[in-house]
Chain A
Amino acid sequence: MIDSLRELGYLISAFLFILGIKYMGNPVTSIRGNIISAAGMFIAIISTFLQGKANFNNLWFIILAILSGSFVGTYLARVVKFTEMPQMVSFFNGMGGLTIVLISIIEFLHRKTVDKIFTISAGFSGIIGAISFVGSMLAMAKLWGILEKSYRSNFIRVFNSILLILIVLFFGILIFEGSYGWLILVIILGGILGFSGVFPIGGADMPVIIALLNAFTGLAASIAGFAINNNAMIVSGTLVGASGTILTILMAKAMNRSVLGVILGGFGGVDTTSQTQKGNIQEITVQDAAILLSYSRKVIIVPGYGMAVSGAQNEVHELEELLEKKGVEVKYAIHPVAGRMPGHMNVLLAEAKVDYSKLYEMEYINPEFKNTDVVLVVGANDIVNPAAKNNPNSPLYGMPILEVDQAQNIIFMKRSLRPGFAGVENELFFNPKTRMLFGDAKETLKKLINEIKNI
């Protein structure tokens, strides 16, 4: 009886997860969607303790773990800056992967006898969980700027292939031997593959990688559900695995990349032809920039990761209001992958209370650039690089970009001439229409605002 009650609880929670994901897909209902799915999770966890024949001697430390986990999780999620959210998501995803690894180890140790179905599912979920755990931790490090570059080499590719073959081989042995040592071995190898698989991939592709690892964790959760015979894990894990896969493909498509290309490390490669282009760089003073902007009819602001890093969204908004007061038409051009995550810029600008109707997506704003007097690029780079359109040798080639080179004037606010995340030189810097305004986005914008006020 009590076991049926538990399964009923799982059924309700599965229904709430499905409803939650459905609602999440629409901006109007998304908050509700998240709350519904959280309610589903609460029900699932409570239902888990409706066990007919378990003893509850361990309940005290389970509750202690849940309470301390909730406390730490809430704390981390609350203190993280908006610019660092992608890292945080990656971290939590990695924690999910680690949980699965631990579950498969514990259950393997606990069982006196193991059958094949159990061995296959525990081993498989352990491998995927380990890939997801280590991969997510490395992705997080890369987003924090550690090992952020792409390191493409044939050595790593060969290494990964051999590693994959070894994992399949040892997994086969594990299935037949059913012994603990082989389980630990394939889990360790899975962890190494998680590292060496993500290692060669550049930071620009991390959103796709995190989405992919998220789907991995979902799949691993589902298979772990087979191992310990838990329907809630099978349903929810599979939902995440499948929807996460679609999400990964959608995100890759927004960057005009194939998921396979990303995994094989096709980005930020060893292309040198586009890096040799040099020319004259023209700088602009804050005073001149202020005059240029004040006397324009139409200005388009292109925000990028630089804005996120320096937290300049409030200054950007202030500048926009100031220019509007002077009769300048101001719009924002939002590239689908500006920043480190799709929607990153929308979130930041919304935080600064920028009017939503001023944000334009790439398809709608691109035809407008040629009638624009000044484009102000605030810390963006790859997403405006014309090489994506006209240099077939560039690793960026084919990625849809904001066509800012069509505008009359371009002011580039940047910290330095350092190439963007893709590691590719931007020929736009050398365009005669371009003026560089070097410095931290926030500081420079403050100066710019003061100058405009004085005009």
Chain B
Amino acid sequence: MEIIVAKAYIFILAIILGFELINKVPSLLHTPLMSATNAIHGIVVVGACIVALNADTTILKVISFLAVFVGTLNVVGGYVVTDRMLQKFKKDGKEK
């Protein structure tokens, strides 16, 4: 029970922090920011790795291989797409 309370602390504080972080963001950054946060929830790949480490039957191994694979897609694809979007803005800055 204590563990859950400790985790609830983290949960609540992260909610408040998440709300505060994204205030007054110019609308041209909305899409890159969405893409960036999309990449961050790719953290699920960590969970996929953990369950994959513990997988002990063939069926579990197959599903967890798939989980790690699609989780990695989320992470890597998310970051690369975000970077591509932002590289365009870099050109903006130079010309300004």
Q: Using CB atoms and an 8 Å cutoff, list the residues of chain A in contact with chain B.
A: 17-18, 20-22, 24-28, 30-31, 33-35, 37-38, 41, 44-45, 48-49, 51, 54-56, 58-59, 61-62, 64-66, 68-70, 72-74, 76-78, 80, 82, 85-86, 88-89, 91-93, 95-96, 98-100, 102-103, 105-107, 109-110, 117, 207, 210-211, 214, 217-218, 221-222, 224-226, 228-247, 250-251, 254, 336, 341-344, 346-347, 350-351, 353, 355-357, 361
Known interface pairs A244-B34, A344-B31; A106-B74 also in contact (CB < 8 Å): no
Known interface pairs A21-B40, A61-B61; A238-B29 also in contact (CB < 8 Å): no
B41 and A217 contacting across the interface, CB-CB below 8 Å: yes
Chain B residue numbers with a CB within 8 Å of A72 are 73
Known interface pairs A30-B29, A58-B61; A247-B69 also in contact (CB < 8 Å): no
A27 and B29 contacting across the interface, CB-CB below 8 Å: yes
Known interface pairs A99-B74, A343-B32; A242-B19 also in contact (CB < 8 Å): yes
B76 and A233 contacting across the interface, CB-CB below 8 Å: no
- Closest chain-B Cβ to A265's Cβ sits at a distance in Å of 21
CA–CA, A50 to B90, complex, Å?
A: 37
A346 and B52 contacting across the interface, CB-CB below 8 Å: no
- Known A-B contacts: A109-B60, A207-B31, A239-B40. Give 17 more (CB < 8 A): A27-B26, A30-B32, A37-B79, A41-B75, A44-B43, A58-B52, A65-B68, A69-B76, A73-B72, A76-B73, A86-B31, A89-B38, A92-B81, A93-B38, A96-B74, A251-B34, A356-B96
CA–CA, A361 to B71, complex, Å?
A: 37
CA–CA, A361 to B96, complex, Å?
A: 16
CA–CA, A73 to B37, complex, Å?
A: 16
Pick from B36, B37, B54, B89 the residue with the most CB of A within 10 Å.
B37
User: Chain A contact residues: over half helix, strand or loop, or mixed?
Assistant: helix
Chain A-chain B contacts (Cβ-Cβ < 8 Å), number? 364
Which residue of chain B has its CB nearest to the CB of A27?
Answer: B89
CA–CA, A176 to B71, complex, Å?
A: 30
Taking a contact as CB atoms closer than 8 A, the residue among B19, B71, B96 that contacts A96 in the complex is B71
CA–CA, A356 to B15, complex, Å?
A: 35
CA–CA, A77 to B84, complex, Å?
A: 8
- Closest chain-B Cβ to A65's Cβ sits at a distance in Å of 4
Taking a contact as CB atoms closer than 8 A, the residue among B3, B31, B33 that contacts A25 in the complex is B33
CA–CA, A232 to B84, complex, Å?
A: 26
Pick from A106, A225, A240 the residue with the most CB of B within 10 Å.
A106
- The contact sample of 8 A-B pairs, CB cut-off 8 A, is A27-B29, A38-B79, A45-B45, A58-B64, A99-B44, A228-B51, A247-B37, A356-B92
B32 and A24 contacting across the interface, CB-CB below 8 Å: yes
- Provide the B13-34 mask, 1 if CB < 8 A to any CB of A, else 0: 0111111011111111111111
A66 and B88 contacting across the interface, CB-CB below 8 Å: no
- Closest chain-A Cβ to B17's Cβ sits at a distance in Å of 7
B30 and A225 contacting across the interface, CB-CB below 8 Å: no
Which residue of chain B has its CB nearest to the CB of A64?
Answer: B65
B27 and A89 contacting across the interface, CB-CB below 8 Å: no
Taking a contact as CB atoms closer than 8 A, the residue among A66, A117, A250, A343 that contacts B4 in the complex is A117
Chain B residue numbers with a CB within 8 Å of A62 are 49, 52-53, 64-65, 68
Known interface pairs A73-B80, A77-B81, A238-B11; A110-B56 also in contact (CB < 8 Å): yes
